[in-house]
Structure 1
Amino acid sequence: MSAKENILNTIAKNQPKLVPLPEIDLNSVIDYEDLYTQFKTVLEGIGGKVEMISDVSFLKEELKTDKESGNFVVNTIAALGEVDSHVVSLSASELEKLEKAYVEGTVGVAENGAVWIYESQMINRLVPFICQHLVLVIEKKNLVATLHHAYKKIEAAREGFGAFIAGPSKTADIEQSLVIGAHGARSARIYVIG
């Protein structure tokens, strides 16, 4: 038996006992008087923009104008019009010029401004990360206080991929300077349908 096999066998024999995850009492975690106000405050504090709208008619017009501009714009939301389902097979190099993407979110989290998006909502998992400008749409009734609440509402293992996205891409680890759009969308606008 090789040294590698000995090590792996020893590790396999010495696994700790499985311990059940703790039960979280959702009544004892933080709560907010106004979920939308908290969501907006946090998200705008990290570089995003949040706007409450009454319905999607405004977004339909914005999408139409964006498409007519000649820029590469992708819509993944059926309520806004024709879904650009052809992007499912596009590679990163083909999506490189993606200017703006419209994506529907499932759950918005007030404590950190994050929005959960399933892979099926992205159509192509590169779309929300490779675009220059990201537009997320979420219903106000789908705002929750914390990630504990969010995980109760989503099925993380339902699809092959999903992500929480909180605002535009940002990093502050280079000389402690905040850089927006370092490795993803340069802007993120979240429309909350109230």
Structure 2
Amino acid sequence: MAKTIDIELQKQLDKPQAWFCKYFPARIRNVSEREIADRKLVFDFKDGRAYEEVAQRTAANMTERYGTSCTNIVFSPVPASTDKKNEIRYKAFCQRVCELTGAINGYDHVSVSGERLTIHENRKAEKEVRKVNVIEFDSAFFNGRSVVVFDDVITKGLSYATYANQLESLGANVLGGIFLARTHYKVK
């Protein structure tokens, strides 16, 4: 069973992806002013302060990639960990991206309804218990739709790939992912 899941996740990860900057976690200290500015942009976006800049970049990428077909594409972000964080991070952002591209706003068709416990393995191969969000979908809305998924930061891509699989299980066709930043650990 695990191999099936891995194959399905890899299928999503093989789809087109775009990101706008490198994200170096705060523990990586020998970064340049550019990387510090990018890190600040990520934090500001997560707090709802930088949505216009990120919406402009996202819309430009979508328009370049899909052109006038944007009007037939649903734009849907991977939900944040709580309903409140999800609204702060994505409500105005999604509205703005859709205004700029003509895309269909998927924000109101996915909700974060609660938390449950899950076990994750961390960098040191130790297991830890974390709370994760429970996502509810408007299944009928996504059935038969083409979707572009957005997430703020991609590291391994598991959140994106899992979310994309969930959408496709509802009958959607995920075209690919757009990310504000990709995590890097080594400065070159």
> Structure 1-normalised TM-score?
0.30
* Structure with more helix by fraction: 2
Structure ranking higher on relative contact order (CA contacts 8 Å, 6+ apart): 2
> Structure 2-normalised TM-score?
0.30
* Structure with more strand by fraction: 2
